Chains A and B, each alone.
Chain A
Amino acid sequence: MLAALVVFVMALAVGAYVGYPLLFPDRNPQENNPERHELELRSEQLAGALRELDTDHSLGKVADDDFAERRTILARELESVEQRLAGAAPSDQTDLDELAEKLVAARRAARTHARPGACPRCGQSNPPAARFCMNCGSRLEEREPTS
């Protein structure tokens, strides 16, 4: 009997606790803007990635051209995130992920269109690591001006 009572009180307490936000929706904690939180998270992530990139570069593990490219991408995104955090660009409904996706798509497009291995003589596109054109055999430009 005592057990039944305890169980009943328990169920009642749980019901009240869980139902409270539904019964009194106006008393719910005002949520911080989730978008803001996401931006903060992303900026933290980007800052970390930049720091790591710098460390890797200073240790000689990232080639200079690669470093410049990565750094520009990351810094540009960080800048836009920081701007949005500071409220410079009022929430224009562009989702952060969408933004990232756009950047990625742009980069991918740039890769395919710029045709990095294009032969200066015949125009044949070559794999990125190729040193000589696969069509006419002429020397391709060294694309790595690093040590």
Chain B
Amino acid sequence: MAEIGHYSLLIAFFLALYSAIASFAGTRAPELGESAKRAALALFWLLTIAAVILVYLLAVRDLTVEYVARYTSTVLPMSYAISAFWAGNAGSLLFWVWLLSAYAAVVVWRNRKSPSRLVIPALGVMMLIAVFFLGLILFLYRIDPEMTPGMVRDPFYATLQALFGSPEGGLHPACNPFWRLPFRPAEGLGLNPQLQNPGMMFHPPTLYLGYVGMAVPYAFAMAALLTGRVGNEWLSLTRRWTLVAWFFLSIGNILGGWWAYVTLGWGGYWGWDPVENAAFIPWLLATAFLHSVIMQEKRGMFRTWNMVLVLITFVSTIFGTYLTRSGVISSVHAFARNEAFNIAFLAFMAVACVVSFAFLFVRRDQLVSESPIESVFSREAAFLFNNVVLVGIAFVVLFGTVFPAISSAFTGVQVSMGPAWFNSVLWPLWAMLLVLTGVGPVISWRRARRNEFQRGFAIPFTLGIVLAAGLALAGMRNGYALAFFAICAFVLGTIVQEVLRTFRTRAATLDSPPARKAMVAALTANRRSGGYIVHLGVIIVAVGITGSSLFERQADLVLRQNEVKPFEDQAFRYTSFRQTREPNRDVYAAGVEVTRAGEVRAQVEVVKEDYHAEQMRWTKARILSSVAEDVYLTLAAFQEDGSAITLSVRRIPLVVWLWVGGAVLVLGSLIAMLPDARERVRRARPASETGER
């Protein structure tokens, strides 16, 4: 089976190469273009076969396959064995390129009837990206001293061994998921227990869907640059694709935070870890792009900037994949250990950057803005500030992520940029961004008039001041918190005011029956309302982050059996202890009763687990959620006989709103993806009818 998977990858590699060449030639010869499209579809089916085979091998735990033996074990539950698909480098790369081929297939399929002249060159760009990833899987090797040529049974590898093998050892593929070991190990290494969580089944795939999805707008932008058709066509072809990618990146980031919060047991959801940052940077850049697109569509401005944003967003997704997969940031020594992999990725990013910007330079004359920005107080300027702040945040995050690696490479000293650094640098930028979320949608185009400030901002501004004053009177003394809550109230005010005004004016101009007016008004401007809902989600997320990061309290309670200790207004009693053996782990669980004002609020078990195969100890959190605050309980330590435990109690206010806001944000982006009314009418009208007019 593994051999079929391997050879389907090999066919896929040459197919992608052919499709790329045929696509670029296909702009002149239509048969070649048609053939390139078919090759892209065939690529998707071949990679699907390879992916299904890998899933099958993982499911049956064929331990003679190195990848299976490294990331699963015979006692690992089935769902996690399958999600081991994206646990390691080799599987992740296959997953990446499979998603890319799926996106390419959808692009071909969606444009089958009315092809734009950009589709085929864009397909070529996507195929080139696929060639890189497939090449990485198939042809990247490291010298393995333990390997001898005789150990290789596969004719393809045997040939390569004969050609490139060296006296120091045989060639071992660096990231091929179908590589067979010369023997069958008795047991696999198993999956890292941190990954044995439902989050593992959803978080990486959604994040990858987001990463890879950004390749589509990039491909169309490159196609526009290649063909010189740099008008608005590529934008309207890719806006929805960008939204799709953004939608998945948002889900991926939120799920990642939730996963960390629920399973990692340290009570936080975001640690400015390089891998988290790697997923966050493309999100920030894609957000900037989604905003600046509006400027080009409505005013013909920011045309070069839009190109630049798409290009750097794509490169940042590759960079994100690279950071996640190479482990180079957590330790620079990882670089030398996997040198070929690192060099290949860095070279790909460098080539992508250089080629993209070279084309951009060539086409610079066609990309001049229609008109300049006339006033600082205008919608145009607000969009510009929004973009500057978002890209600024992205660069701060990038700097904080790579600086430790760079400095330790040059000085040998590992400097760490912890959450404190990120928070202190970023909070003014967040505040500006939030204010702009309120100002941007309200302010006038070109230049704001004086009376408008009163009309547009008086009520929301008062709302913010009143809220801050109220909170201050209620005893809140934290300046940051007051400022952020006030800004949130201000933005909420602008959103509500805008939505009401839009509905009122739209309802007045519509000729639907009065009873349905509100509905029609809401449903015919999906893009606008989607945007407002996303902004609302951002505000709710901001409330959650402000509350949870500024007002967390923590205590460690040492409890004997049946002893009660209070923490603020709640009391905790240690009731029971249990130790059980499961096939892959030992479980130690302590029962805790939580009471408030004499009433029992909950009976929970806090758990520590020892994983055998992976030799790791794992702390699982128990969380009592409510609208106002989460009580986050972990078993910090325990006596083997269960006579005493140390219970760590964290009280984290408002954190639930982070997840609620995230859901609202995701919902908003879904609504923004729906076609608007006129578009639906046009789609429904048959082509013949339009031709007869």
Contacts and interface: CB of A to CB of B under 8 A. Distances in A.
B451 A18 contact: no
Interface string A92-136: 000111001100100110010000000000000000110000000
A10 to B, nearest CB: 6
B232 A28 contact: no
Nearest to B370: A104
A61 B443 contact: yes
B230 A55 contact: no
B445 A60 contact: no
Contacts of A100: 231-232
B446 A55 contact: no
Given A22-B35, A100-B231, A7 B4 contact: yes
A17 B43 CA distance: 11
Contacts of B8: 7, 10
Interface string B112-137: 01111100000000000000000000
B444 A62 contact: yes
Contacts of A22: 31-32, 35
Contacts of A10: 4, 7-8, 11, 46, 49
B379 interface: yes
Given A45-B236, A107-B371, A108-B370, A56 B38 contact: no
A58 B521 CA distance: 14
B300 interface: yes
A52 interface: yes
A17 B38 contact: yes
Interface residues of A, number: 57
A135 B37 CA distance: 63
B307 to A, nearest CB: 15
A40 B690 contact: yes
Nearest to A66: B446
B505 interface: yes
Interface of B: prevailing SS: helix
Contacts of B49: 10
B207 interface: no
B449 A63 contact: yes
B35 A18 contact: yes
B38 A7 contact: no
Given A3-B4, A53-B298, A60-B452, A31 B447 contact: no
Interface size class of B (residues with CB under 8 A): 35 or more
A17 B42 contact: yes
A68 interface: no
A139 interface: no
Contact of A147 (B114, B231, B451, B525): B451
A34 B227 CA distance: 14
A54 B35 CA distance: 45
Contact of A55 (B1, B528, B679): B528
A4 B474 CA distance: 76
B298 A97 contact: no
Given A10-B11, A47-B678, A60-B444, A21 B236 contact: no
B506 interface: yes
B15 interface: yes
A104 B296 CA distance: 12
Contacts of B300: 104
Interface in B634-693: 676, 678-679, 682, 687, 690, 693
Contact of A37 (B46, B115, B231, B676): B115
A12 B451 CA distance: 73
A6 interface: yes
A69 to B, nearest CB: 10
B240 interface: no
B229 to A, nearest CB: 5
Contacts of A63: 444-447, 449
A89 interface: no
Contacts of A34: 114-117
Interface string B489-517: 00000000010011001100100000000
A38 B46 contact: no
Contact of A28 (B30, B229, B447): B30
Task: Output the residue of A14, A40, A53 with the most chain B CB within 10 A.
Answer: A14
A21 B38 contact: yes
B273 interface: no
Contacts, number: 150
Interface in B1-42: 1, 3-4, 7-8, 11, 15, 18, 30-32, 34-35, 38-39, 42
A85 B690 CA distance: 8
B476 to A, nearest CB: 35
B298 A52 contact: yes
B75 interface: no
B31 A21 contact: yes
Nearest to B117: A34
A146 B368 CA distance: 30
Nearest to A95: B229
Given A37-B115, A107-B371, A19 B297 contact: no
A15 to B, nearest CB: 9
Contact of A97 (B233, B509, B525, B528): B233
A91 to B, nearest CB: 14
Contact of A41 (B42, B230, B233, B298): B233
A17 B297 CA distance: 40
Given A34-B115, A147-B449, A58 B505 contact: yes
Contact of B114 (A18, A25, A37, A86): A37
A52 B11 CA distance: 49
Contacts of B11: 7, 10-11, 14
Nearest to A128: B374
Nearest to B119: A34
A14 B451 contact: no
Contact of B35 (A19, A52, A58, A61): A19
Contacts of B32: 22
A140 interface: no
Contact of B682 (A11, A29, A40, A144): A40
Given A21-B34, A38-B117, A48-B676, A14 B506 contact: no
A29 B46 CA distance: 24
Contacts of A28: 30-31, 34
A18 B115 contact: no
B502 A20 contact: no
Contact of A44 (B4, B366, B379, B678): B678
Contacts of B166: none
A3 B2 CA distance: 9
Contacts of B31: 21-22, 25, 28
Contact of B445 (A37, A58, A61): A61
A24 B96 CA distance: 34
Interface of A: 3, 6-7, 10-11, 14, 17-22, 25, 28-29, 31-32, 34, 36-38, 40-42, 44-45, 47-49, 51-53, 55-56, 58-63, 66, 85-86, 95-97, 100-101, 104, 107-108, 111, 128-129, 144, 146-147
Q: What are the nearest 8 A-B pairs in CB distance?
A: A21-B34, A37-B114, A97-B231, A7-B7, A3-B3, A58-B505, A25-B31, A21-B35
Given A22-B31, A31-B115, A32-B687, 12 more contacts: A3-B7, A11-B11, A20-B38, A22-B32, A28-B34, A42-B232, A44-B682, A47-B678, A104-B300, A104-B370, A108-B371, A128-B374
